[in-house]
Structure 1
Amino acid sequence: MKNLMIDVLIKLSKVEVESKELVAQVEAQSLLIAALLLTLGNEATDDLSTNIHSAVAAATQSSTEILQSDADMILAHFDRLLKVTKFVADHAEEE
């Protein structure tokens, strides 16, 4: 019984480490995207946003395997990232 508990704890620890690694990876990618968007400027960012929304819409229409709820969640996260980036850009110009 003691060995079973130790094995379960080890597996839970591995899952937790993998989860933290995924969170760190996503956060790093979000920061990279935000930095790239700040570098592009407003007009290019608007074009990029339009292209991404069009690509996601086309993908959901062309495949039955892609759930609309998944696409909506992806676009919501993307839009949130764009809003944060625009907020940072606007406030950086004020100072």
Structure 2
Amino acid sequence: MKNLIAELLLKLAQKEEESKELVAQVEALEIVVTALLRQMAQSEQQALIDSVEGALDEARPDTQVSEQDREMLQQYVKKLLRHPRN
């Protein structure tokens, strides 16, 4: 029983570490996207936003991806593009 608990705790720690790495990657990408958007002229920004939003709207939802997950991704991308980090 102790071995099982120890294994579960080890797996939990590994998952937590993976989660931290993913959060760091997402934050780094947010910073990069924000920096790129700030360097673009307003018309270029709008063209990029329209292109990304159009691609998201046209993407067919995969049967493995829930509608809720797809909607969350779409909202997050729109938030990032229209209201980048300060």
* TM-score exceeds 0.5: yes
Pair 1:27 & 2:27 matched: yes
RMSD: 2.2
Letter in 2 for 1:27: E
Please report the TM-score for the alignment, with normalisation by the length of structure 2: 0.79
Count residues in correspondence.
85
Please report the TM-score for the alignment, with normalisation by the length of structure 1: 0.73
Using a 3 Å threshold, how does the CA distance of structure 1 residues 75 and 64 change in structure 2: closer, same or farther? closer
Q: Counterpart in 1 of 2:71?
A: 72
* Unaligned runs of at least 5 residues, structure 2: none
Using a 3 Å threshold, how does the CA distance of structure 1 residues 19 and 69 change in structure 2: closer, same or farther? same
1:28-43 to structure 2, matched below 5 A, reads 28-43=28-43
Q: Counterpart in 2 of 1:8?
A: 8
Letter in 2 for 1:15: K
Runs of 4+ in 1 over 6 A off after TM superposition: none
Report % sequence identity. Answer: 34
* Unaligned runs of at least 5 residues, structure 1: 89-95
